[in-house]
Amino acid sequence: MPNEFEYNNYPNNDNYPNNNGFEPNQPSPPPPLGKNQKIAAAVLAGFAIFILIAWAVQLKKSISGPFAVKSGSQSQTINSGNSAEELKAKDTDKDGLSDWDELNVYHTSPYLEDSDSDGFTDKQEVDSGKDPNCPTGRDCYSLGIVDGDKSVVSQGEAEQDNSTLNSLVDQLGASQPGQTGTSSFNASQVESLMGRSMDAATLRQLLLQAGMDKTVLDKINDEELMKSYQEVAK
């Protein structure tokens, strides 16, 4: 029978770790994530990153938006300025006057170097102090000035222009169906329309009223039309 000393020296279970390798009452580690849990965690992480990126983009737009609108307005202003500058630098008919001056200052045709067909270019008449819209030797102001932007022609000049227009219609062979000979376009109609500078639009209006077929007239471009008029008017 063992004595008390031997009994006390027997190993005590309290002096050894448990079979799991952890001290008593210590919490065990969490179990590892399963496959489905890992997938769910990855999806949530990706969604969070997407939300963060979208928020950053929206914040950037909110900050830079007003500046973008201002920049667009400045671009439109610059483009408008460029159009005017282009006209000022362009001389389509090579008469020495820029298209901008012809359209906005002298109200002459930018397509014809001699808008009034008197043998002198628009630039020559401007430099000599004459009206580039009034043929040399004619009194275009005998009836007075209607307003600052329009010229007035005399009755005799209107009749001469009427003859010119009728000749142009006959030359182009473009009378309306059922009409023969010269048109019924009279001098008073010419006078009312010739109160402004002759340009392609005005000439088309005159020719249509003179009996020219619109279908034929539409096939002629402005430059050819004005050249034909200039040749007939000589």
Residue-wise DSSP of 131-196 = -TTS-TT--TTTT--SBTTB----HHHHHHHHHHHHHHHHHHT-BPTT--SS----HHHHHHHTTS
Check residue 11 and give its pLDDT: 52
Helix axes 200-209, 155-172, angle to 10 degrees: 80
Cβ neighbourhood burial of 69 (10 Å; 0-12, 13-18, 19+):
exposed
Global pTM value:
0.32
Check residue 148 and give its pLDDT: 40
Q: Which tokens is 167 given?
A: 């000749």
CA distance 171 to 230: 13
Question: 48 and 42 in contact (C-beta within 8 Å)?
Answer: no
Q: Is 212 helix (H, G, I), strand (E, B) or coil?
A: strand
Cβ neighbourhood burial of 114 (10 Å; 0-12, 13-18, 19+):
buried
Q: Which tokens is 32 given?
A: 């590892």
Give me the residue spans of the domains in the chain.
78-137, 140-233
Sequence-distant (≥ 6) Cβ neighbours of residue 166 within 8 angstroms:
182, 183, 185, 210
Check residue 97 and give its pLDDT: 92
Question: 92 and 109 in contact (C-beta within 8 Å)?
Answer: no
Residues of the chain with pLDDT under 50: 16, 22, 78, 143-156, 158, 175-189, 191-196
Amino acid type, 109: S
**Residue 123, number of CB atoms within 10 A of its CB:** 21
Question: 172 and 211 in contact (C-beta within 8 Å)?
Answer: no
CA distance 64 to 62: 6
Q: Which tokens is 173 given?
A: 């062979």
Check residue 155 and give its pLDDT: 46
